Amino acid sequence: MCVLAPGWIEHSLWNEYYSTDAEFLFAIAEAMRPEYRAIIEAGFTAGAYSIEAANPRHEHEWKVWRDVRLPSGKILIPGVVSHASNVVEHPGW
């Protein structure tokens, strides 16, 4: 299950209270803790890398995994649906 990281959430919010960006970011992480915990407790994967594969602008990026090995216990989740394009990658990639 995908969920936004605190750093991405920070991009869409305006800090009007916290004195530093770091303080703001950690507050977002703390606020998201129940959602992250619920995902983990439901048994969804917290140990995967999601890669964009549906958007033609990213069609070449999977090739890095020819030479780079995943850490033990990690998996790749290729994204096959894009909100940015109606073009879907060829299944032979």
For the chain, which residues make up each domain, given as ranges? 1-45, 47-93
pLDDT band at 69 (very low <50, low <70, confident <90, very high): confident
Query: What is the rounded end-to-end Cα distance, in angstroms, of the chain?
Result: 23
The residues near 81 (Cβ < 8 Å, ≥ 6 apart) are: 54, 88
- Give the C-alpha separation, 83 to 71, whole Å: 29
DSSP-assigned states of every residue in 8-32: HHHHTS--SS-SSHHHHHHHHHHHH
The neighbour count for residue 89, using CB atoms within 10 Å, is: 19
| pLDDT one-digit tens code per residue, 20-61 | 999 999 999 999 999 999 988 998 867 887 777 666 677 677
